[in-house]
Amino acid sequence: MAATESAALIAELDGAFDSRAPERWARILRQVTQLFLADAHRFSEGQIAVFDDVFVRLMQRADRQALALLGNSLCAASAIPRQAIRRLAFHDDVVVAGPVLRRSRGVPDKDLVEIAKARGQPYLLEISGRQTVHAPLSDKLVERGETAVLARLVRNSGASFSEAGWAALVAKARLDEGLAEALVSRSDMPPGIRKELVAKVSDTRMRSMQATPPALQGKIKAAIATRAERAETPRPTRADYSAALSKMAELSRTGGLNDRSVNRFAVEREYVDVAAALSFLSGTSVEVIVPLIESVELEGLMVACKAARLNWSTTTMIIGNRPGCPAVTNRDLEQAEAAFDALSLSVAQRTIRLW
């Protein structure tokens, strides 16, 4: 940060306290944020503290939109202005607090626990998506969290649980089939708890199948059985999907993972990208998706596409560009489209998770 730029901004800041134009405060805050982000990695503790004081002063007059933008920006900074981050985390508007609660390294666990004790479900939902959630914090989230919070927390691979936390989750899973399914998928679940829940998930699968349109029941059961048999047979080594999954995560982050991009993967016969996209969007593994793409039967792939929230046009393109599969007749496509339209998103997502 150049001395002249700093002096000019501080002078404007001091002279602006009587101004009531919110756009002026937003502009100054953006300028200070840009200066901070540009050289944050080189600042000393003293310099960070100066910026922190300036941020706090500006935040007193900034509107909701400007504060939310500030929070998003500071989460990506290599240095942490701790006063500003703390004020954002404790803000009364979750739109402002959310990005910091979910992403910032500058919010200590003790503050997160305090927020989890006092705030409502939207705050808990943001916290449950943090990259790392230690047991004392997860215990409080399990204690107070409702369905959406528990679902995100249990599916968060960076969350860990105490013995009491596991016990509380098991108790809640007895009343929530979706939570039971998610718990079983965790590799760190104690063996005793896993054994107890497997039976519950098995029952859930049958109920989920009964909710599927009757025309699909037999074929989907057959697809599950076929996959189980194939899983026991040694298979050729597959391409490494890690790079493709990383690509999908980046596309999703920038809003580029959608029907248009998946359609393009299918048209260009980017087999690995199609499988990775379906895996990412449906929340299941590529080991489940790949056999469905390779199968001559359409039903399993159709359910995966519905679970991924793809439209019928994209689904048709994927079906028509499957590697090594014969062409599909118009009649088969018409029947598949009718079944696709009849299949609800919730049933498709539950079914694909259980596979």
In tens, the pLDDT along 99-125 reads: 999 999 999 999 999 999 999 999 999
Rounded-to-integer distance, Cα 177 and Cα 120, Å: 24
Rounded-to-integer distance, Cα 132 and Cα 112, Å: 12
Domain boundary among 106, 123, 143: 106
Confidence of residue 177 (pLDDT cuts 50, 70, 90): confident
Same domain, 101 and 168: no
Same domain, 66 and 134: no
The backbone torsions φ and ψ at residue 271, rounded to the nearest 5 degrees and listed phi first, read -60, -45
Same domain, 297 and 189: no
- Give 195 or 173, the one with higher predicted confidence: 173
Indicate the number of domains in the chain: 3
Q: Is residue 220 pLDDT above 70, yes or no?
A: no
Q: Give the pTM.
A: 0.57
Sequence letter at residue 179 = L
Average pLDDT of the chain is 82
Confidence of residue 207 (pLDDT cuts 50, 70, 90): low
Domain boundary among 50, 83, 106: 106
The range of the structural domain enclosing residue 159 comes to 108-210
CA trace torsion 42, 48, 50, 53 (10° rounding):
150
CB atoms within 10 A of CB 4: 8
Q: What is the mean pLDDT of residues 171-187?
A: 80
Predicted pLDDT of residue 15:
56
- Give 1 or 297, the one with higher predicted confidence: 297
Chain centroid to CA 299: 27
Helix, coil or strand: residue 159? strand
Sequence letter at residue 352 = I
Which of 40-54, 187-201, 281-295 is predicted with the least confidence, judged by mean pLDDT?
Answer: 187-201
Rounded-to-integer distance, Cα 260 and Cα 24, Å: 40
- Residue 131, both tokens: 């990259």
Same domain, 38 and 157: no
Same domain, 226 and 253: yes
Q: Is residue 9 pLDDT above 80, yes or no?
A: no
Rounded-to-integer distance, Cα 297 and Cα 290, Å: 13
Same domain, 256 and 188: no
Same domain, 97 and 140: no
Same domain, 341 and 227: yes
Which among 85, 86, 82 is positioned nearest to 72, based on CA atoms? 85
Same domain, 218 and 346: yes
Predicted pLDDT of residue 341:
81
Q: What is the mean pLDDT of residues 339-353?
A: 78
